[in-house]
Amino acid sequence: MQRQTPDSLFLGRQEELRRMASRLEAAARGAPQVVLVDGPAGMGKTSLARRFLSDAAAECCVAEASGEELERELAHGLVAQLVPQLPDVPEGLRELVLGMPEAAATRDPITVGALLLDALGQAQNRTPVVLLIDDVHEADTPSLHALTFALRRLRKDRLLAVLLTRDAHDPRLPQGLHRILHDDTTLKLTLEGLALSDVVALQVVLGPSALPRWAIARLREHTHGNPLHTKALLQQAPADVLSGHTVLPAPRRYERLVSARLARCGAAARDLVEAASVLGPVVKCHAHIRSEARVMAAS
């Protein structure tokens, strides 16, 4: 058996895939659909979307884009990612992908949204369209307004929009988009941690060696079933650590993230977190809540 990599391995989420496929079938019949997938970082939102695209949406016209914190000030940058993936793009939209940022910046979101809607309409003449937007909360504001304009005007379109975000209540999202995401007709999928059976299967493929079931259950509790963190520990920690009785470590990537956020705090906050780190789990939980508040205030 060929050993799979953490990035290629996909476990669980079968009910979510089934429900997304059902919405795609409805969209193919001319009833446009919106799917919201939210959950913490590392919970597998992108992996779920990729699996959906490779299975149920394999024969569709797919246009993908993703938000990026460093590109928030790039006007219509998210829309520009979509344009090359759509056939028969109106001339006004082509300016967004021809290296003309000054032209993009002068275009108002309503005009861009109307052009995007036209391009999506042309694309669905051949096959249903799947519009996948990852990290919506990090997208530039003009693109979010243009996207909202287009989604609000879908009527009998053969289109499925899949929007991925860590927080569907993020205040950066336009009010119109908030209303779409929380509408009764929108399919909302909030991803939670992997089931124990999935972590067992993950350990068989990625773990250093066979682990007792109690050790796998402890690992799942430690990571809350977060796929990213679970995969990282299975690859980074030796078997004697995972099956030992000492406190399990944090994934190295998570350690670096916490260290960076802690470095932005004041001395008092750092002292509190460092003191709490040597105490019991319950105290750590309360200290984590307090320290998170301080970290966010300092960010």
Share of the chain above pLDDT 70, in %: 86
Residue 166: pLDDT band by 50, 70, 90 thresholds?
Answer: very high
Assigned domain for 137 exists: yes
3-state class of 187 per DSSP?
strand
The region of weakest confidence among 20-29, 83-92, 160-169, 175-184 is: 83-92
The burial class, CB within 10 Å (0-12 / 13-18 / 19+), for 79 is buried
- Looking at 172, 190, 208, the residue that finishes a domain is 190
Token pair belonging to 104:
């993009």
| 2: pLDDT strictly greater than 50 | no
Residue bearing the bigger pLDDT, 29 or 273: 29
62: enclosing H helix or E strand: strand 61-66
> What integer is the mean pLDDT of 182-203?
94
Share of the chain above pLDDT 90, in %: 61
Structure confidence by residue, pLDDT tens digits, 30-71: 999 999 999 999 999 999 999 999 999 999 999 999 999 999
Residue bearing the bigger pLDDT, 280 or 87: 87
State how many domains the chain has: 3
Of 286, 283, 281, 288, the C-alpha closest to 262 is 288
CB 134 within 8 A of CB 63: no
Residue 99: pLDDT band by 50, 70, 90 thresholds?
Answer: low
| 160: pLDDT strictly greater than 80 | yes
The reply to whether 97 and 225 lie within a common domain is no
d(CA 126, CA 164): 26
What's 85's domain CATH number?
A: 3.40.50.300
The reply to whether 219 and 297 lie within a common domain is no
> What integer is the mean pLDDT of 232-258?
83
By residue range, what is the domain housing residue 206?
196-254
CB 159 within 8 A of CB 129: yes
The reply to whether 50 and 164 lie within a common domain is yes
| 271: pLDDT strictly greater than 80 | no
Which pLDDT value is given to residue 1? 35
Q: In the Cβ-directed half-sphere of 263, how many Cα atoms lie within 13 Å?
A: 6
267: enclosing H helix or E strand: helix 267-276
d(CA 33, CA 210): 44
Assigned domain for 5 exists: no
> What integer is the mean pLDDT of 227-255?
85
d(CA 112, CA 145): 9
The region of weakest confidence among 160-174, 200-214, 282-296 is: 282-296
Which pLDDT value is given to residue 276? 75
The reply to whether 162 and 97 lie within a common domain is yes
Which pLDDT value is given to residue 100? 65
Token pair belonging to 98:
């021809």
| 289: pLDDT strictly greater than 50 | no
What residue type is 87 in one-letter code?
P
The reply to whether 140 and 38 lie within a common domain is yes
